[in-house]
Amino acid sequence: MRVIILDTANQVAQYAADLLLETVRKKSRPVLGLATGSTPISTYQQVINAVQAGQASFKNTTTFNLDEYIGIDDTHPQSYRHFMKHYLFNHIDIDLANTHLPMAASLDETRLVENAQDYENAIQEAGGIDLQLLGIGENGHIGFNEPTSSLRSRTRIKSLSESTIEANKRFFADGEYQPHLALTMGIETILESKHILLLATGHKKAAAVKAMVEGPLTAMCPASALQQHAKACLVLDQDAAAQLSLKDYYVWCEKQRQELT
């Protein structure tokens, strides 16, 4: 894994936006994997700024999001479709018909299983994901692949952990239905992406980052599966990198890489 440590969360966001925009500019029909959560919001704003300044176009871009809550309509304010429209899609020149999230509104298990397979098929038909954007949960999850998730998992129904439910509780009103299930890309699905870009900021992510980078490859830290990917890039701020034992080494390695290129 390539580990890049920057001073601030704003620098992380700009670095990630530059990589997303580079992919869009270089590919004739780019396919991006996108993430929700608080971490990528600043990155999306940087992308919006570039598009609105005429520096990039998403007209020929296709996107696939990692996951969606089960049991709420995609017009619900807490659906990830709504999130993506609010923080990115409504502000750039992308064709909404080319933006994909798992279809998860149904509560019928058979239908959800079929939708999960359809999602896998759609990714393959698009030619695979060129660049997958990820965040990391405090318990090491990527997408909604919680600890103990199979490292060979595909898009599927997943129960959310109590810690994830608690972390997301702030987004739902008191007494409002909060989903405890999601459709999520599996770990193997994620690993099939040609490039992976994981962002982590803040001291609350430091333990998960250490487990991902320096811990064993284990289902107890799903993000550790990225150790197997040939082109996984982790972009961290100082707080998220604070617990890394070999932090100075990663900084030195990146300096050597920059001098080489």
**Exposed, middle or buried by CB within 10 Å (0-12, 13-18, 19+), for 166?**
exposed
Q: Any catalytic annotation for residue 98?
A: no
Q: Any catalytic annotation for residue 67?
A: yes
Catalytic residue among 145, 146, 229, 237: 146
What share of residues in the chain are helix, strand, coil (percent, to 5)? 40, 20, 40
Beta bridge partners of 4: 235
Catalytic residue among 139, 145, 229, 237: 139
Catalytic residue among 130, 141, 145, 229: 141
- Alpha-carbon distance values, 129 to 48, 78, 181 (Å): 21, 25, 24
Q: Which residues, in sequence order, are CB contacts of 159 under 8 Å at separation 6+? A: 146, 180, 181
Report the chain's terminal Cα–Cα distance, integer Å: 17
How many other CB atoms are there within 10 angstroms of residue 64's CB atom? 24
3-state secondary structure string, 23-92? HHHHCCCCEEEECCCCCCHHHHHHHHHHHHCCCCCCCCCEEEECEEECCCCCCCCCCHHHHHHHHCHHHC
Q: Any catalytic annotation for residue 146?
A: yes
Q: Please say whether the dihedral angle defined by the alpha carbons of residues 94, 134, 229 and 249, taken in this order, is positive or negative.
A: positive
Coil/strand/helix, residue 19: helix
137's enclosing H/E stretch is: none
Q: Any catalytic annotation for residue 174?
A: no
Q: What positions carry a catalytic annotation? A: 67, 139, 141, 146
